[in-house]
């Protein structure tokens, strides 16, 4: 699988996620487990245990050296599952050679610096399985903390045990009590629905509140978080969580500073929200707009403004100003300064000062004399003064400093506790499941739904007490209007409104503001919903956020990020690059990522099937990367159900793609036993198919036709043998003078892999017979009078022609005997020196092989084999190239 993390490592946590974890999945991702761990691969179990140990050892403040040894022991703690001889853990732990071998395979051997570390690892592994606690070795000297470390390893081993959750949590709590040397309890906070960024902000608010009460995040699940602590607060936390949640939401909209700072003819206007959110960022945005003003500088337009606004004050005022060196703007630098003065004046006005007081502030900062102030005052207060005061400004830093001062005057203190609507509090109660008593107002919700005015039924979300009427750009693309809602009174031409409950609308608007959507027109995206694996550590969340942030920064302008398709199709590599309209619209803020992340994916003007294929390919590449291993859902819906019964899910697969993609619900290979794998399409199998298609597309078509070629090849999966014909047709269409032998050498491997995946039984038998026939044809030179395509397949075409023209009264023995004789006569006629008995025997043997195809695969049914005529001829042509290459290699080896 691809590697997506490329950065230097420092801490043991980072080393684990970048080096050790990928190795665990490489070695054990397909290792199926039985019994209480059924449904999870060995790699997932070892990974879960390692992450848990790293988290609790950090909480317990274990020193880095011992954390390293504890991690090494955890990475190989199930020694009996790593060995095929059937020995128990105690025997294997005391086999130094085997222990060292497993430490090397797990990529943790370099963490062991001293001989005594091996002994500690052995003791921890034995103790986790209950052996060392009962034999004589326990009486030998050992570290006094080994009981605590063993408890950490035992707790980690129990953490993902497939038993009743309440029993499992209680077992883990018992071990943590020993590990921490204090009472330890685990509390699970879950969500009832996933609404993308809105849900992530809610979980973030929940974490902020609970950490105040000395609860520590222990592990993250797709549907919530586990916290560890002595006890859970008894009072209702809903109000506190709702207030922090509201603050986070407000910060998102206020933080969209680009939209809150705008250039107008009356100066640069700055919204107070921008200043209160991030003063420095607001200043940067103003300076960026001033640079744009500088780039738009035009001398003739400026002269008109000077004449217009200076003329209002009179010629005498202009002359008086010139005497004191207050000469109007004459170049682009001075024009930028004048626009800056205008922005400062507007900002001071917004702070509550009068017009004159605002200019007095500017005069004071510039230390203008009373004479200069009297000279400037007659000019227009907004447009004129800034044009004539530029000479008093020595540099741009003064402009920045005055802007900052005006911002400081406008900045207001943000209250810690803000007013929260009842709808938000109800949403917290509804979406967040806390380990506290709660009352469900089901009756009231049902009555509200039943009694709602039909004209106010929601186009988005559930009917609730707060319904909003919104225009289309405030709703997800393609949100439908109720069929009767366009019957507006009086025949109004305005666009009919869509109804939405406030929380659903807020969820979409957060996405619209918070994702790096392109600046072009509104497209309908697909959504990739990734979830952290079961029991992921907070450190994995941090690394995931960092990866998303770094990848989003690939586009410095803040738009979409796409993948280099050439490297993806040719080399199966994920290399990200900026794009204006196509690709991932990654989130702008890290707090939009928590237990799940929603990534809109846009593909421009392509049909839905191509968008689905390309999105699924990228989703699988990320989901199956060894560093991540994240479950995912690909959907055109913003809201999805949280479900742990699958690894990958695709909603809305069209019937044309179902033969290739299956039902749309996938598990990993390690989740299934050998017998189950035969009848299931795993995520790895689907990715292999898509990779094979990508390689073939790259070889046979031009970049401009990649999408069309990909779609046709994907649809061909309903009849896999047709791949030979479709590929040949694309080669003839795209290549003026194709070199079939060279092309076949490139196509053969991905095509065979694809066909074995789609039709494992029939493909092998047919391929073997066609290869045998092609080899006989090349050895005996059974072809027409040239090397043209039709001439090369001539003997095979004659075989199909004989089947088609066979008379009902003729036996098949007669047909094939006649075919052999006729083709022998044909070769005798076209060859310069004729052919003899040896050639006859070669032709006879050739057609006997083709007869096996007719009898064993097509059951002597002419209509069935004739339906595949073009496919069989295409496949035969390709196998001729392979046979020709094999014969060349044989001759070369013989000569050597």
pLDDT tens-place string over residues 470-486 = 544 555 554 444 444 44
Low-confidence winner among 33-37, 207-211, 238-242, 447-451 (lowest mean pLDDT): 447-451
Contacting residues for 284 by C-beta, under 8 A, at least 6 apart: none
- Picking from 524, 399, 537, 423, the residue whose alpha carbon sits closest to that of residue 472 is 524
Q: What residue spans of 94-220 are helical by DSSP H? A: 96-105, 115-128, 146-158, 165-180, 197-212
- Picking from 153, 154, 158, 160, the residue whose alpha carbon sits closest to that of residue 221 is 160
Distance in angstroms (rounded) separating the CA atoms of residues 536 and 593: 14
Low-confidence winner among 162-171, 314-323, 397-406, 411-420 (lowest mean pLDDT): 411-420
pLDDT for res 445 = 64
pLDDT for res 487 = 45
> Mind listing the pLDDT tens digit for each residue in 70-108?
999 999 998 888 888 878 888 888 888 999 999 999 999
Token pair of 444 as six digits: 């009231």
Highest mean pLDDT out of 35-44, 152-161, 335-344, 366-375: 152-161
pLDDT for res 454 = 57
- Position 8 pLDDT exceeds 60: no
Q: How confident is the model over 716-737, as a mean pLDDT? A: 91
More confident residue, 596 or 6: 596
pLDDT category at 338 given cuts 50, 70, 90 is: confident
More confident residue, 595 or 457: 595
Highest mean pLDDT out of 32-41, 94-103, 704-713: 704-713
pLDDT for res 450 = 67
pLDDT category at 767 given cuts 50, 70, 90 is: confident
More confident residue, 828 or 323: 828
Q: How confident is the model over 789-805, as a mean pLDDT? A: 91
Is there a contact between 458 and 500 (Cβ–Cβ < 8 Å)? yes
Q: What is the mean pLDDT of the chain?
A: 84
Count of CB atoms within 10 A of residue 526's CB?
23
Highest mean pLDDT out of 489-498, 629-638, 643-652: 629-638
pLDDT category at 416 given cuts 50, 70, 90 is: very low
Is there a contact between 246 and 235 (Cβ–Cβ < 8 Å)? no
Is there a contact between 743 and 731 (Cβ–Cβ < 8 Å)? yes
- Position 624 pLDDT exceeds 70: yes
**What is the DSSP code (8-state) at residue 832?**
T
Q: Pairing relation of β-strands 632-635 and 648-650?
A: parallel
Contacting residues for 38 by C-beta, under 8 A, at least 6 apart: 162
Count of CB atoms within 10 A of residue 273's CB?
17
Half-sphere exposure of 52 (CA within 13 A, CB side): 32
For the four alpha carbons of 639, 641, 646 and 650, in that order, the dihedral sign comes to negative
> Mind listing the pLDDT tens digit for each residue in 350-373?
888 888 888 888 888 888 888 888
pLDDT category at 684 given cuts 50, 70, 90 is: very high
- Picking from 416, 436, 428, 433, the residue whose alpha carbon sits closest to that of residue 239 is 428
- Position 5 pLDDT exceeds 80: no
pLDDT category at 292 given cuts 50, 70, 90 is: confident
Q: How confident is the model over 285-298, as a mean pLDDT? A: 83
pLDDT for res 486 = 45
Distances (CA, A) of 390 to 334, 361, 362, 393, 396: 6, 15, 12, 5, 11
First CA to last CA distance, the chain: 39
Sole residue written with tokens 């790096």:
516
As a whole-number percent, the residues of the chain with pLDDT over 70 amount to 87
* Beta-bridge partner residues of 267: 264
Count of CB atoms within 10 A of residue 298's CB?
10
The C-alpha angle with vertex 569 and arms to 563 and 571, in degrees rounded to 5, equals 95
Instruction: Write 805-812 long-range contacts (CB < 8 A, 24+).
Output: 806/862, 812/851, 812/860
Distance in angstroms (rounded) separating the CA atoms of residues 360 and 403: 15
Q: How confident is the model over 682-708, as a mean pLDDT? A: 94
Is there a contact between 545 and 17 (Cβ–Cβ < 8 Å)? no
Token pair of 857 as six digits: 């695969």
- Picking from 521, 531, 496, the residue whose alpha carbon sits closest to that of residue 632 is 531
Backbone angles phi, psi at 188, to 5 degrees: -105, 125
3-state SS, residue 434: coil
- Position 500 pLDDT exceeds 90: no
pLDDT category at 444 given cuts 50, 70, 90 is: low
- Position 388 pLDDT exceeds 50: yes
Q: Is 705 exposed, middle or buried (0-12, 13-18, 19+ CB in 10 A)?
A: middle
Distances (CA, A) of 662 to 93, 650, 767: 44, 10, 24
> Mind listing the pLDDT tens digit for each residue in 214-226?
999 999 998 899 9
Whole-structure pTM value = 0.78
pLDDT for res 175 = 93
Is there a contact between 228 and 216 (Cβ–Cβ < 8 Å)? yes
Q: How confident is the model over 387-412, as a mean pLDDT? A: 81
Distance in angstroms (rounded) separating the CA atoms of residues 287 and 129: 65
pLDDT for res 661 = 94
Q: How confident is the model over 703-722, as a mean pLDDT? A: 94
- Position 2 pLDDT exceeds 60: no
Question: What radius of gyration do the chain's Cα atoms show?
Answer: 37
């Amino acid at each position: 699988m691809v590697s997506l993390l490329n950065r230097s490592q420092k801490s043991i946590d980072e080393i684990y996620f970048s080096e050790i974890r990928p190795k665990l999945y490489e070695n054990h991702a397909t290792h199926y487990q039985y019994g209480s761990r059924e449904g999870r691969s060995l790699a997932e179990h070892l990974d879960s245990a390692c992450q848990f140990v790293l988290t609790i050892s950090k909480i317990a403040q274990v020193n880095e050296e011992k954390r390293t040894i504890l991690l090494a022991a955890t990475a190989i703690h199930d020694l009996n599952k790593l060995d095929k001889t059937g020995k128990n853990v105690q025997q294997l732990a005391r086999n130094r050679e085997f222990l060292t071998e497993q430490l090397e395979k797990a990529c943790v051997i370099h963490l062991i610096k001293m001989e005594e570390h091996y002994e500690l690892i052995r003791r921890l592994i034995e103790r986790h399985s209950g052996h060392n606690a009962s034999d004589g070795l326990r009486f030998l000297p050992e570290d006094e903390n080994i009981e605590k470390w063993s408890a950490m390893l035992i707790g980690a081993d129990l953490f993902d045990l497939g038993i009743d959750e309440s029993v499992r949590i209680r077992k883990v709590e018992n071990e943590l009590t020993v590990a921490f040397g204090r009472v330890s309890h685990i509390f699970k906070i879950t969500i009832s629905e996933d609404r993308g960024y809105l849900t992530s902000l809610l979980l973030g608010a929940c974490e902020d509140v609970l950490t105040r009460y000395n609860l520590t995040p222990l592990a993250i699940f797709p549907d919530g978080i586990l916290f560890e602590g002595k006890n859970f607060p008894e009072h209702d936390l809903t109000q506190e969580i709702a207030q922090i949640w509201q603050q986070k939401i407000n910060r998102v909209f206020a933080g969209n500073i680009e939209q809150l700072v705008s250039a107008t003819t009356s100066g640069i206007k700055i919204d107070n929200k921008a200043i209160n959110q991030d003063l420095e960022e607001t200043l940067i945005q103003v300076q960026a707009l001033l640079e744009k003003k500088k780039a738009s500088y035009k001398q003739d337009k400026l002269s008109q403004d000077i004449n217009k606004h200076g003329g209002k004050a009179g010629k005498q005022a202009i002359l008086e100003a010139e005497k004191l060196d207050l000469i109007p703007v004459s170049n682009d630098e001075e024009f930028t300064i004048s626009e800056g003065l205008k922005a400062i004046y507007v900002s001071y006005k917004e702070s509550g000062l009068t017009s004159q007081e605002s200019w007095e502030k500017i005069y004071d900062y510039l230390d203008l004399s009373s004479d200069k102030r009297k000279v400037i005052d007659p000019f227009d207060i907004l447009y004129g003064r800034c044009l004539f005061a530029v000479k008093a400004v020595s540099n741009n830093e003064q402009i920045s400093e005055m802007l900052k001062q005006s911002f400081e005057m406008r900045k207001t203190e943000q209250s810690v506790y803000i007013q929260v609507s009842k709808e938000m509090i109800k949403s917290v109660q509804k979406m967040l499941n806390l380990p506290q008593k709660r009352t469900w107002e089901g009756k009231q919700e049902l009555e509200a739904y039943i009694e709602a005015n039909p004209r106010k039924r929601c186009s988005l979300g559930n009917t609730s007490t707060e319904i909003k009427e919104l225009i289309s750009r405030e709703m997800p693309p393609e949100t439908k209007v109720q069929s009767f809602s366009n019957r507006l009174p009086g025949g109004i031409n305005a666009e009919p409104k869509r109804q939405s409950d406030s929380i659903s609308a807020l969820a979409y608007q957060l996405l619209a503001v918070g994702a790096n959507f392109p600046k072009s027109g509104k497209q309908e995206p697909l959504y990739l919903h990734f979830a952290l694996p079961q029991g992921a550590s907070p450190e994995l969340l941090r690394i995931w956020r960092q990866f998303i942030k770094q990848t989003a920064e690939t586009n410095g302008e803040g738009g979409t990020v796409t993948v280099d398709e050439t490297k993806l199709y040719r080399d199966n590599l994920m290399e990200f690059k900026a794009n204006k309209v196509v690709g991932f619209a990654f989130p702008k803020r890290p707090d939009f990522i928590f237990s799940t992340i929603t990534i809109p994916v846009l593909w421009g003007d392509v049909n839905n099937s191509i968008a689905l294929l390309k999105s699924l390919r990228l989703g699988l590449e990320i989901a199956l990367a060894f560093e991540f291993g994240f479950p995912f859902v690909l959907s055109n819906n913003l809201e999805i159900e949280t479900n742990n019964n699958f690894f990958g899910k695709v909603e809305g697969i069209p019937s044309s793609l179902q033969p290739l993609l299956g039902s749309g619900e996938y598990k990993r290979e390690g989740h299934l036993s050998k017998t189950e794998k035969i009848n299931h399409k795993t995520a790895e199998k689907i990715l292999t198919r898509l990779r094979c298609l990508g390689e073939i597309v790259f070889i046979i078509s031009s970049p401009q036709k990649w999408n069309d070629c990909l779609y046709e090849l994907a649809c061909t999966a309903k009849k896999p043998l047709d791949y030979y014909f479709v590929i040949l047709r694309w080669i003839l269409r795209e290549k003026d003078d194709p070199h079939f032998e060279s092309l076949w050498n490139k196509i053969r491997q991905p095509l065979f892999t694809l066909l074995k995946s789609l039709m494992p039984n029939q493909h092998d038998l047919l391929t073997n017979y066609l290869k045998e026939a092609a080899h006989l044809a090349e050895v005996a030179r059974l072809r027409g009078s040239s090397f043209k395509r039709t001439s090369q397949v001539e003997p095979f075409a004659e075989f199909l022609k004989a089947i088609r023209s066979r008379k009902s009264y003729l036996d098949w023995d007669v047909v094939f005997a006649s075919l052999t004789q006729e083709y022998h006569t044909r070769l005798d006629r076209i060859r310069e020196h004729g052919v003899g008995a040896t050639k006859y025997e070669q032709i006879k043997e050739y057609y006997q092989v083709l007869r096996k195809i007719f009898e064993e695969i097509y059951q002597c049914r002419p209509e069935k084999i004739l339906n595949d005529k073009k496919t069989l001829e295409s496949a035969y042509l390709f196998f001729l190239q392979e046979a020709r290459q094999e014969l060349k290699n044989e001759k070369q080896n013989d000569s050597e």
